[in-house]
Amino acid sequence: MKHSFLVLRAKFIALCFFITALFSASANADSSGVIKIPTHNWSSQLVGAEVVGELFKMVGEKIEYVSMDSQTVYQAMADGDIDIVHEVWEGAFGASFDKAVATGGVIDLLTHDAVTREDWWYPVYIEEVCPGLPDWEALAKCSDMFARADSGGKGVFIGGPVDWLKHDAEKVEALGMNFVVRNAGSAGAIWAELDAAVAQKKPVVIFNWSPNFIGAKYEGKFVEFPKHDPKCTSDASWGVNPNALYDCGNPANGYLKIGVNKDFEKNHPKAFNIAKQMNFSGPDIDKMANYVDTDGMEISEAAQQWLKDHKSKWEKWIK
């Protein structure tokens, strides 16, 4: 009895050896020394990631694209699992990014020329029924038409997910608007709301940002709140409401940054040299998104197209 068990075990061990041998013969070389670039779920980032990867390849680096959630990526970068995030949006990821920088694992490398805008936005046909837009006071007067069955008579503003940390509720209160903020759970939910409303030409006011594909698909405008000022979020006495913070719009020019892991310079000096000279402009980001969203190109085609059209630009970076 003991004998047969031994034979079984011998067979098992042999099988293990065989499998290990098979894997080690065929498997790819180890993955250290590879630059890991995250890919998220919006087009400009996907194309940009491939552009960045292609540039790094030109100086002989190896690239691996890792699909990742755009918030968890900062923990991963601080842990050294991700090397570079090339689209850090102030509005959406500023908080996670700052936290990661504070741990010392992530370096705030540079700010692109591209500026971002994020604020309340409406499809243009609403101007016909609510005169005075895009001024915020006109919107406040029309709050009735944005009311819903479950909003208690107040207008509904469709905000971004709570983790984007917008101060819309504070803004509504500070400006005394008769609105409630309903936070969508994802960007997709905001677009679904917008799409359904546009199809019926119903009033809707949503959280939107630029650059993104919505601008090309639907005509609309940002609501003009009192202009942003650093004092607005730190000094209550500033602005329309002397007793409250956030009585203003979001910054009309938020940053777009590049963040890298702290060891990136040490491990990949050539790639780091490119990264610190990189700079995407607003039209660059727009184009990358539009190649995919409007022209229907594949991600890699779009990246190649951008590289072809902007040779003079990136040639300076790889010097």
Partner 1 sequence: MNNIIFERFKNYWFIYPFILLWIIKPFLPEWGVVPPKSCLGGCGTIEGMIPFVQWVNNLIDILRNYEIFGFFTFREFTRSIANLIDIPLDFTEALLYKGFNTIPLGPMPWVMILGLVIILGLYLRGVNLAILGGACVLYLAIFSLRGIWTLSMKTLAAIAVSVPLAVIIGILLGILGAKFKIAERLLNPLLNILQSLPHFSYLILVAIFCGVGAKAGVIATVIFAFPPMTRLTILGLKELSSEIIEAGRMNGCNKWQMLFKVELPGARSSLMLGINQVIMQCLAMVVIASFIGQPGLGHDLLARLQNLRLGQAFEIGVAVVFIAITLDRYSQALVLKEPKRKIEGVFWKRNPYLFGALIIVVFSFILSLLTAAAIQLPKEYTISISGYLDWGIKFITTSLFVPLGIFRDFLLVYFFMPTKAMFQSMPWVAVIVLVGCAGWKLGKFKLAMTVMFFIFLIAASGYWVRAMITLYMVSVAMIISVGFGVPVAIWASRKKSTTKLILNICDTFQTFPSFIYLLPAVMLFQISDVSAIFAIVVYASIPITRYTIFGLRNVPSQIIEAAKMSGCSESQILWKVRMPLAFPEILLGINQTLMFALFMVMIAGFIGTVDLSQEIFRALSFNDGGKGLVIGLCVSLIGLTADRLLVEWSNIKKKEFGLIK
Residues near partner 1 (CB under 8 A): 1, 4-5, 8, 20, 22-29, 31, 36, 39-43, 46, 64-69, 71-72, 74-76, 79, 81-82, 95-96, 99, 148-150, 158, 161-163, 182-189, 191-193, 195-196, 199-200, 213, 293, 298-299
For partner 1, give the closer residue by CB, 32 or 312. Answer: 32
Note whether 85 and 38 are within 8 A (CB): yes
Angle between helix 299-309 and 43-58 (nearest 10)? 60
Note whether 295 and 213 are within 8 A (CB): no
CB of 240 to partner 1, least distance (A): 29
For partner 1, give the closer residue by CB, 5 or 230. Answer: 5
CB of 286 to partner 1, least distance (A): 15
CB of 196 to partner 1, least distance (A): 4
CB of 7 to partner 1, least distance (A): 11
For 19, counting Cβ atoms within 10 Å of its Cβ (0-12 exposed, 13-18 middle, 19+ buried), the class is exposed
CB of 77 to partner 1, least distance (A): 10
E strand map for 217-255: 220-222
For partner 1, give the closer residue by CB, 72 or 277. Answer: 72
Neighbours of 142 (CB within 10 A): 19
Who's near 71: CB < 8 A, 6+ residues apart?
A: 93, 96, 163
d(Cα 175, Cα 18) in Å, to the nearest integer? 72
Note whether 39 and 67 are within 8 A (CB): yes
For partner 1, give the closer residue by CB, 23 or 243. Answer: 23
For partner 1, give the closer residue by CB, 158 or 223. Answer: 158
d(Cα 305, Cα 287) in Å, to the nearest integer? 10
List the structure tokens of 17.
């050896």
For partner 1, give the closer residue by CB, 22 or 129. Answer: 22
For partner 1, give the closer residue by CB, 161 or 226. Answer: 161
List the structure tokens of 3.
């004998």
For partner 1, give the closer residue by CB, 213 or 317. Answer: 213
Calculate ∠ Cα 130-132-134, nearest 5°: 95
Nearest 5°: phi and psi at 190? -65, -45
CB of 222 to partner 1, least distance (A): 20
Any idea what DSSP says for residue 178?
A: S
CB of 270 to partner 1, least distance (A): 21
CB of 9 to partner 1, least distance (A): 9
